Amino acid sequence: MGFSRQEYWSGLLCPPPGDLLNPGIKPASLTSPALAGLVVLLLLQEGCAYKLVCYFTNWSQDRQEPGKFTLESTDPFLCSHLIYSFASISNNKVIIKDKNEAKLYQTINSLKTKSVGEEWGAPRESQTENSVVYWRVSVWFQRKLAEAFQQDFVKSTKERLLLTAGVSAGRQMIDNSYQIKELAKDLDFINLLSFDFHGSWEKPLVTGHNSPLRKGQLDRGTSSYYNVEYAVGYWINKGMPAEKVVMGIPTYGRSFTLASAETAVGAPASGPGAAGPITKSSGFLAYYEICQFLQGAKITRLQDQQVPYAVKGNQWVGYDDVESVETKVQFLKNLNLGGAMIWSIDMDDFTGKLCSQGPYPLVQAVKRSLGSLER
């Protein structure tokens, strides 16, 4: 008796895109019950492997303590993928501007060697010669880049380079910028920027959460699009396979200065919130700054959007905490997404000194909730 792939994977949480025992081959059926039983057993033993893609920013090393972030002390097993933001590009080549940046690439290389035993810090030649700002190039170039990566893989003894893109979660931007079915053919996965749904740039200016999981009770018209659930569903409905969607989770919040005694979501605001003492950017607070803000603040958890916000005086901030990121991970697992993306690890409480929750409380919560990570 044979098992169709649909029957075989039904009820399992994260079906892989290809055959586990022979990646790249997609048979119509598994004809051996013994083989099917073996693969199910392997799944039960190993669990489903998700991506945990972690961005870190090159300007975080210039912040004052305790916000100064360097990679040297980072756990090499914290994430499955690490993305450096942002490399400098000149004449379509990645360039190293100074000694600090050269040292940073060496550190990335060291972390990679510790985690999987393979060096990767400096871009390989095909990557160096072809790297440009992704969303400003044509689908034709995307295809050529994918082909170049495959050719490099055939010639090289190293793993194939991954072709990925950080993409917008805004419906209008998606409609105007992406040919999603074409992207799906060549990209290994997308990192969905499912945050910055609300902020001090909006008109009229009212309070709104940075990264609500779901539509709020007050959302009408286009504001119904400004949530994680809608953005994920829109990408999938437009043709991006769920297993190629890596869902963004922020380690920062967006803040506002209230214009009246009203403090709920949608309350009038007079401008961005006060700049944080470390990040020094108005309307914006890193999680380690939010932990300090919460002392003496009134915290409200939005039951409809499943995220918290806090108010202290005339300051309002919508943010993510351990509970909300755990809820988001369960959401992405239910949809069989490829994993979670963190923007960014340098804004989590990486020292563990400011939130009293241990180092990297948000990233660790995401990691625990995901379970098994790709390696």
Among 219, 217, 137, which Cα is nearest to 183's? 137
Predicted confidence at residue 158, as pLDDT, reads 74
Predicted confidence at residue 15, as pLDDT, reads 47
- pLDDT tier for residue 162 given thresholds of 50, 70 and 90: confident
- pLDDT tier for residue 156 given thresholds of 50, 70 and 90: confident
- pLDDT tier for residue 58 given thresholds of 50, 70 and 90: confident
Region 54-76: mean pLDDT is 88
Cα(4)–Cα(27) distance, integer angstroms: 9
Domain ranges for the chain, please list them. 3-46, 51-249+322-370
For residue 4, pLDDT over 50 is answered with no
What kind and span of H or E run contains 329? Answer: helix 322-334
* DSSP annotation of 373: B
Region 19-44: mean pLDDT is 40
For residue 278, pLDDT over 90 is answered with yes
Predicted confidence at residue 110, as pLDDT, reads 67
Q: Which of 25-39, 190-204, 222-236 shows the lowest per-residue confidence on average (mean pLDDT)?
A: 25-39
Burial string for 277-286 (b: 16+ CB within 10 Å, else e) reads ebbeeebbbb
Region 99-122: mean pLDDT is 57
Among 106, 100, 107, 111, which Cα is nearest to 77's? 111
Predicted confidence at residue 350, as pLDDT, reads 96
Cβ atoms 5, 30 nearer than 8 A: yes
**Single pTM value for the model:** 0.80
- In Å, how far are 22, 87, 94, 162, 309 from 152, measured between CA atoms? 22, 21, 17, 11, 48
Sign of CA dihedral 259, 262, 265, 267: negative
- By three-state DSSP, how is residue 224 classified? helix
Q: Which of 75-84, 86-95, 226-235 has the highest mean pLDDT?
A: 226-235
Predicted confidence at residue 94, as pLDDT, reads 67
Among 339, 301, 304, which Cα is nearest to 319's? 301
Cα(267)–Cα(363) distance, integer angstroms: 30
Mean pLDDT, rounded, of the chain: 81
Q: Which of 124-133, 218-227, 276-285, 348-357 shows the lowest per-residue confidence on average (mean pLDDT)?
A: 124-133
Predicted confidence at residue 41, as pLDDT, reads 40
Cα(310)–Cα(300) distance, integer angstroms: 6
Domain 51-249+322-370 has CATH 3.90.1530.10: no
* Residue entry with tokens 């005694």: 261
- In Å, how far are 5, 8, 13, 128, 161 from 30, measured between CA atoms? 7, 8, 19, 42, 30
Among 98, 17, 10, which Cα is nearest to 58's? 98
- By three-state DSSP, how is residue 127 classified? helix
Among 167, 309, 297, which Cα is nearest to 231's? 167
End-to-end CA gap in the chain:
34
Cα(151)–Cα(174) distance, integer angstroms: 30
- By three-state DSSP, how is residue 320 classified? coil
For residue 155, pLDDT over 70 is answered with yes
Q: Which of the pair, 137 or 201, is modelled with greater confidence?
A: 201
203-251 pLDDT, tens digit per residue, is: 999 999 999 999 999 999 999 999 999 999 999 999 999 999 999 999 9
Paired tokens of 274: 């006060």
Predicted confidence at residue 193, as pLDDT, reads 98
Among 98, 151, 107, which Cα is nearest to 127's? 151
**Percentage of the chain exceeding pLDDT 70:** 73
Q: Where are the alpha helices (DSSP H) in 5-98?
A: 5-9, 33-46
